Structure 1
Amino acid sequence: MLLRIAALALGLAEAFRPRRLVDVWLNLATEGDATPRRWVYTAARIEGLLLVLWAVRRHRDSG
C-alpha cells in the first residue's frame, strides 16, 4: 500500500510538474550545468501518467 501511495504521489508530480522534478533529479545526478533535451520532460510526463495508472489499477484489483 505504501508503494502505491508513493507511486501515485510521484506520478502526479511528474505528470503535472515534469520540469521541476526532472531539474531536481538532474541537479542531484550531475555536478555541472547539464541541460536535458526537450523530449525528457515529455518522457517524464508519460512516466508519471503510467505510475498513476498503475497505482489506481492496483488499488482497484486489491479492493
Structure 2
Amino acid sequence: MKRFLDHRSKRWGFDGWAIRIKGAICPLDWSVCTTRQEARELRKEALPERDLFTRSEIVKVRISVEVLS
C-alpha cells in the first residue's frame, strides 16, 4: 500500500481506487490503490479468472482515518 494521506484529493472528492465485485455494497479492502492504473494492474494479477475479472469493476473510494485507542 502506498502512503494514502499524501495522495488525498479534496478537489475530486475521492482518495483512491479499489476493486468491487458488481452488485456488492463495498469494495474489497485489500484492493485499495492510490491510482487507477495500480487498481487495473492489481485486478489483472489478483483476478486472473475470466469470470471474476468480468464481474469486477474499479471504483472510486474515500479513505478516512480514525483513532482506535
Q: TM-score range by the shorter chain?
A: 0.3 to 0.5
RCO higher in structure (CA 8 A, sep ≥6): 1
> Which has the larger strand fraction?
2
**Structure of greater Rg:** 1
